[in-house]
Chains A and B, each alone.
Chain A
Amino acid sequence: MTRDECIGVIGAGNWGTTLAKVLGDNDKRTLLWARRDDLCREINETRQNSKYLPGFSLGPSVEATSDLERICKSTSLLIAVVPSHTMRETARELGNHVNGEHVIVHATKGIEQGTFKRMSEVLREETCVRKIGVISGPNLAKELAARQPAGTLVASRYDEVFERAHAALHNDYFRVYQGRDVIGAEIGGGFKNIIALAAGVAAGLGLGDNTKALLLTRGLSEMARFGVAMGAEVMTFGGMAGMGDLIATCSSPLSRNHQVGARLARGEKLEDIQRDMAMVAEGVKMAKAAHDFALRKRLDLPIVRAVHNLLYGHHEVPLLLKELMNIPAGPEFAALTV
């Protein structure tokens, strides 16, 4: 078997199943890992993942399995798409089966809570794999599953990671661009969820496009400041994983983070919202991680602070909005001189 004949997708949630669908559309033999056997059975028998990607069929080249070892033996290209809070556990398990020839591209947005580690760092700590990359961009799962034109970024220090991910995923509706700034791509993909939450709040309050644009541009500025403090390159935030992802996530009512924000604005409690949602809204965790990190690094990130206080401090929405608008405004790029 040549090495690109089979691709492993680790995680059969909404985004993992969508990427498996893209691979299936490309006629790539794909092994989709799900922890639960009943989900594997459903996917293999009905070609659908009714819980996480209802209404879309996976191509015949996609096979679901709960056997991680089999996947690692069948392919050296793995796409890891598990929630950030389970990445360490899954990576440790993967570590039992991979070797130095494996390539892992992760598509998980968010930072590990408590340690502030990025997903590529978690993979590095839990496996022997060096050739690690990240997929990040404006990719709303349902639109991609519907084959609407979209683009994404694959960032890695290793050319081979991009080349193989590109060969597997790129097609006539999904454009895959190359980047080297792994840190920037990971920060962009995680951080935008916080801004999406804020944009959701604004939408929930019935505020218009001026407010949304203000939130987005100042949110992008905070993202860049945060990213540069973490070691990213500022330019990355003007690309797919920064600006691109921010626009898509904050514009779309499909975004889970946007939905959480809108419901909070309507006065619902976070616990109740989370109980209702089948999937994890990464922004909820990311807001805490970013807020803690900003305190530690003494970064001034007003939108992050406001979202954090809304989620965890139970502050009132109107009060937070007032606070944000009362912050003195100075030179637009002052905090970005890096």
Chain B
Amino acid sequence: MRPEHRERARIEAATRVVDRHVASLRPPEEVGLEALVNDTLYHERRRLERERGGDPRGAEDSAFYHRIQKRLRHASARDLREMLDQIALRFASEIVGNFDDRVYKLSTTVVPTGLSVLLTAMSPGKLGSLSSLRHGLSDHVQIQGSVDHVRKLLDKGTLVVVPTHSSHLDSIVLGYAVHLMGLPPLLYGAGLNLFKNPVTSFFMNNLGAYRVDRKKTAGLYKDVLKEYATVALELDYNNLFFPGGTRSRSGAVEQKLKRGLLGTAVRAYVGNLQSRRDKPNLYVVPCTISYKLGLEAETLIDDYLKEVGKNRYIIEDDEFSRPRQVLNFMSNLVSLDSRVVITFSRPLDVVGNYVDEEGRSLDPRGRVVDAASYVSDGGAPVHDAQRDEEYTNELSSAIAREFLRDNLAMSTHVVGYALLDMIQRENPDMDLYRLLRTGGRSPSVTASDLATETERVVGALRRSAKGPRMSDELARDPKAIVDDALRAFASYHTHPAAVRRGDRVFHENRNLLLYYGNRLKGYDLGRNLSRAEGATAEPAGARA
């Protein structure tokens, strides 16, 4: 964000949030104001206690809140409002990032080379020459889908790119893709841990990230964060949100999306219409990032299985915090074993309609609709919190649908699914968790059975109306698909998901099989597979 905008966004975000709170208060105003200050103090103090010593700003924050606390006792309504302003501004100052267009340009040119040098230094024998590396990186990050469509919309409004999220590399890979596409950089909120990580801090500070501290639980903080994103959109900064909120732990494509940040799209759109901006439209671009291998796969699926439904929102000790492992993964990316494919889906408007290349909203029958009419009352644009919440739900469903449609099925996903499904069917009396732990009756299956099963899964996926897209390698014969997946598993994971010995394939890390297979959740595979057999019953043992 440009310096003059940064200051404007900081002040605007803080002021709007406090104004809104004040406007919603019933008299006497002091009671509500004091409750809000107290609530924020409570959440911040708890946070500071939890991370005592861990946050370099902790002492400063403690002193600040201590001063607020002292003033609170005899504060008038005016004092309370001032305190709220101070707290909100403090939050906003922290959120605002260091984005600098010149640094961005430099870094997107230099970083791929720098990365290559780094990789070469790590493993010169394996990786070959510098130029082939640079070439290799762009070869292995593939961009497909509505690329031209998205480019055309750039002149017609502001973009909100909403990708699937399965790795900390996502924002970097996407930043690189956006650069290759010739699009201006995307503004996005990145967790504080990414700013601390030695590998990513450079990108985070320079590629347009603003800071999101997920340990801050105060409602006021979350409001300021959302308002900052809204203001940024109104200032025509193309934004990137991860609507899943956090990396997918199970490996599945996100279907339950967080509405908080997504809701800023409709808010900003109304704001744009009210201030009669030249190009008020916002275009939401779902985007699926598909990895053949998951950098953090082992940690994520372990976390998922440890506490299904209660998994940690923030993980700080995963593969991503270990530079050597990141480099190992990156070197895989430029060798032949791995691949990242970014698919841009058809762009949507803020209520979930498809948008044509002219930037016009289309109804389900392809008729042009005036998008402004959705937020109008008697022709004038108005905010309506309840209505907009529902619009965001509609948008969220549309994004989830596009995620499923444009998710790319790869050999690792299909073979992961097929092998685990075979094991489950061979052990119908075992629940999934026990099966994952013990492996069931036999440690292996025959390679030819696995190939047959893989063929069935590929067939069922092709029949599914909801998607996914199929990667090129899935057009090969089933044995080649199995070999491809096993080679990929062996190339990166310390304990590969499955290994071939002779004519048999041994399932060595079933958690990983679950992780990769889960990428195919949402396509009714169980039903489609049994239908192909002419059976009517669902297969035993639902997937976690």
- A binding-site residues for B, Cβ under 8 Å: 2-3, 92, 95-96, 99-101, 124-128, 130-131, 157-160
Contact = CB atoms under 8 A, between A and B. Distances in A.
A160 B387 contact: yes
A130 B374 contact: yes
Contacts of B370: 99-100
Given A130-B390, A158-B390, A95 B363 contact: yes
Interface in B356-407: 361, 363-365, 367, 369-379, 384, 386-387, 390-391, 393-394
Given A100-B370, A101-B374, A124 B351 contact: no
B377 A3 contact: yes
A160 B365 contact: no
Number of chain B interface residues as a range: 20 to 34
Nearest to A131: B387
Given A101-B376, A101-B377, A159-B386, A128 B391 contact: no
Given A99-B369, A99-B370, A101-B373, A157 B364 contact: no
B353 A157 contact: no
A96 B366 CA distance: 11
Contacts of A95: 363, 365, 367
A124 B363 CA distance: 9
Contacts of B365: 92, 95, 126
Contacts of A159: 386-387
Contact of A100 (B367, B376, B378, B386): B376
A126 B365 CA distance: 6
A96 B364 contact: no
A124 B394 CA distance: 11
A99 B363 CA distance: 9
A160 B376 CA distance: 12
Contacts of B373: 99-101
B283 to A, nearest CB: 16
18 contacts: A2-B378, A3-B377, A92-B365, A99-B369, A99-B370, A100-B369, A100-B373, A126-B364, A128-B353, A128-B364, A130-B351, A130-B374, A130-B390, A130-B391, A130-B394, A159-B386, A160-B384, A160-B387
Nearest to A159: B386
A95 B367 CA distance: 8
Which of A3, A125, A128, A131 has the most chain B CB atoms inside 10 A of its CB? Answer: A128
Contacts of B374: 100-101, 130
Nearest to B394: A130
The majority secondary structure among interface residues of chain B is: mixed
A128 B387 CA distance: 15
Contacts of A96: 367
Contacts of A160: 384, 386-387
Contacts of A130: 351, 374, 390-391, 394
A243 to B, nearest CB: 27
A167 to B, nearest CB: 14
Nearest to A298: B536
A121 B402 CA distance: 19
Interface string B412-450: 000000000000000000000000000000000000000
Contacts of A101: 373-374, 376-377, 379
A76 B387 CA distance: 16
Contact of A124 (B364, B367, B369): B364
Contact of B351 (A100, A126, A157): A100
Contacts of B363: 95, 127-128
Contacts of B391: 130
Contacts of A128: 353, 361, 363-364, 367, 369
Contacts of B386: 158-160
Which of B361, B373, B379 has the most chain A CB atoms inside 10 A of its CB? Answer: B373
A297 B390 CA distance: 29
A245 B325 CA distance: 64
A125 B364 CA distance: 6
A158 B385 CA distance: 11
A100 B393 contact: no
A229 to B, nearest CB: 14
A131 B384 CA distance: 13
Nearest to B536: A298
A73 to B, nearest CB: 13
A96 B373 CA distance: 15
Which of B363, B378, B393, B394 has the most chain A CB atoms inside 10 A of its CB? Answer: B363
A92 B387 CA distance: 24
Nearest to B374: A100
Nearest to A128: B363
B32 to A, nearest CB: 23
A2 B374 CA distance: 17
A161 to B, nearest CB: 10
Which of B374, B378, B386 has the most chain A CB atoms inside 10 A of its CB? Answer: B374
A125 B391 CA distance: 16
Contacts of B353: 128
A2 B393 CA distance: 29
A219 B372 CA distance: 45
A100 B374 CA distance: 4
A92 to B, nearest CB: 7
Contacts of A126: 364-365
A128 to B, nearest CB: 4
A128 B367 CA distance: 9
A19 to B, nearest CB: 24
A2 B378 CA distance: 7
Given A2-B378, A100-B351, A101-B373, A157 B390 contact: yes
B367 to A, nearest CB: 7
A314 B373 CA distance: 52
Given A99-B370, A126-B365, 19 more contacts: A2-B378, A3-B377, A3-B378, A95-B365, A95-B367, A96-B367, A99-B369, A99-B373, A100-B372, A100-B373, A101-B373, A101-B377, A127-B363, A127-B364, A128-B364, A130-B394, A157-B393, A159-B386, A160-B384
A166 to B, nearest CB: 15
Contacts of B367: 95-96, 128
Contacts of B361: 128
A128 B394 CA distance: 12
A33 B378 CA distance: 23
A123 to B, nearest CB: 10
Contacts of A2: 378
A126 B370 CA distance: 16
Nearest to B537: A298
Contacts of B379: 101
A101 to B, nearest CB: 4
Nearest to B384: A160
A87 B350 CA distance: 27
Nearest to A92: B365
A131 B389 CA distance: 12
A92 B365 CA distance: 8
A133 to B, nearest CB: 11
B175 to A, nearest CB: 34
B528 to A, nearest CB: 14
Nearest to A129: B363
Nearest to B362: A128
Nearest to B349: A100
A2 B364 CA distance: 29
B364 to A, nearest CB: 5
